[in-house]
Amino acid sequence: MDQEVLSLTKSLVAIPSTADNNAALKEVLDVALKPLQEFTIEKFSKMDCPSALIHNQKPGTKHFRVILNAHLDVVPGKKEQYTLQQDGDKLLGRGADDMKASAAVLVYLFKEIAAKVSYPLALQLVTDEEVGGFYGARYQAEEGITTDFYLTGETTELNIKNEAKGVLWLKATALGKTAHGAYPQNGDNALWKLKKYLDKLESAFPVPTELSWKTTLNLSAVSTTNGAYNKVPDYAEAKLDVRYIPSEAKTILPKLKSLLTPGVELEVVEADPFHYTDPNNKDIQALLKIAREFSDGKKSELMQGQGASDARHYSAVGVPAIEFGPIGGGLHSDEEWVSIKGLETYSKILKEFLLRAT
């Protein structure tokens, strides 16, 4: 494995760049930018969330042939996870898989390639993907940063993810009437009201027994303002995480509302678009061909995504966007890892793709 990539990966993993640690977010971005000082670096900030665009053009350039994207933020981990470990072919640590190792690959790949290609090439580094990407990738898109092809290096096992589910975050609330717990007939229990709606949701969206391309609903939290045993609660709420397939984009919210039971209201907290790019896109087909040439017998395929990524922010404005990354596993777990050999193959594939792009 390239020692510069390994060294940068170790440095990035060592920084606990979680959403609640703004100093660490700024530090991790600065560390990633150090090898790239010879290029144009344009920094962005919204809501004190830092991001950067590094490219091979003059300052102020807005449109690029290709934008490579990497996020440098991570979900929280245990203290020991912030020290990168090696076990055979695996690199283990918080962010090894998602996605500091592939970010390190993209940094050094950009450094090597950017001066060799004749077209505008950019690397987008952001620090808020794990909490939605609204102040990083989406903000840059809103500022007019666009491209013919957007590629985020999320781990995909060397497959190409050209579509992913949309996201709805919802809050269901129920109001009731408080009373003494010994006399429930004198009150109106908000929790029981809410439960009736949740029961209908569980029936309509049963937890799948296997990975499938279906809309799913996760009951994330149930809470009440009541903290006493001997009191009828007059308020209850539930948080819902819905991941919908593109074909149900227009029907999912009406369906959820049609299931509402008396006394329950539904509020949309966040609505994120699905991600879709035509599989016949020329860049997808070119990358797929190269991936199959270089991936040691592994037949790279197009795939659908259950979770969201920054690709959706560009797909939503009509830009062809994909996820394409190395081999790894243990996403957000204590055993998060990425393959060293997979990183090397990943770099070779992307290098060839960028050199062939016109």
The predicted pLDDT at position 47 comes to: 96
CB of 309 closer than 8 Å to CB of 154: yes
CB of 12 closer than 8 Å to CB of 28: yes
CB of 94 closer than 8 Å to CB of 81: yes
The answer on 244 and 112 residing in a single domain is: no
The answer on 174 and 121 residing in a single domain is: no
Find the CATH number of the domain harbouring 328.
3.40.630.10
The answer on 143 and 104 residing in a single domain is: yes
User: Omega of the bond prior to 47 within 30 degrees of 0, cis?
Assistant: no
The predicted pLDDT at position 296 comes to: 66
The answer on 67 and 85 residing in a single domain is: yes
The answer on 132 and 175 residing in a single domain is: no
Query: How confident is the model over 28-59, as pLDDT tens digits?
Result: 999 999 999 999 999 999 999 999 999 999 99
The predicted pLDDT at position 325 comes to: 96
Centroid of chain to Cα 118: 30
The answer on 131 and 27 residing in a single domain is: yes
The answer on 186 and 80 residing in a single domain is: no
The answer on 66 and 135 residing in a single domain is: yes
330: left (phi over 0), alpha (psi -120 to 50) or beta: left
Find the CATH number of the domain harbouring 249.
3.30.70.360
Distance (Å) of CA 223 to CA 94, 126, 143, 172, 192: 30, 33, 39, 11, 12
The answer on 66 and 122 residing in a single domain is: yes
Picking from 272, 301, 319, the residue at the C-terminal end of a domain is: 272
Q: Which residue range(s) make up the domain with 131?
A: 3-164+275-356
Please count the structural domains in the chain.
2
Picking from 219, 238, 272, the residue at the C-terminal end of a domain is: 272
The predicted pLDDT at position 297 comes to: 59
From first to last of its 358 residues, the chain has per-residue pLDDT tens of 789 999 999 999 999 999 999 999 999 999 999 999 999 999 999 999 999 999 999 999 999 999 999 999 999 999 999 999 999 999 999 999 999 999 999 999 999 999 999 999 999 999 999 999 999 999 999 999 999 999 999 999 999 999 999 999 999 999 999 999 999 999 999 999 999 999 999 999 999 999 889 999 999 999 999 999 999 999 999 999 999 999 999 999 999 999 999 999 999 999 989 999 999 999 999 999 999 998 765 689 999 988 889 999 999 999 999 999 999 999 999 999 999 999 999 999 999 999 999 8
Picking from 225, 254, 272, the residue at the C-terminal end of a domain is: 272
The predicted pLDDT at position 233 comes to: 98
Q: Which residues contact 114 (CB under 8 A, 6 or more apart)?
A: 39, 55, 56, 121, 123
The answer on 285 and 267 residing in a single domain is: no
The predicted pLDDT at position 299 comes to: 82
The predicted pLDDT at position 20 comes to: 96
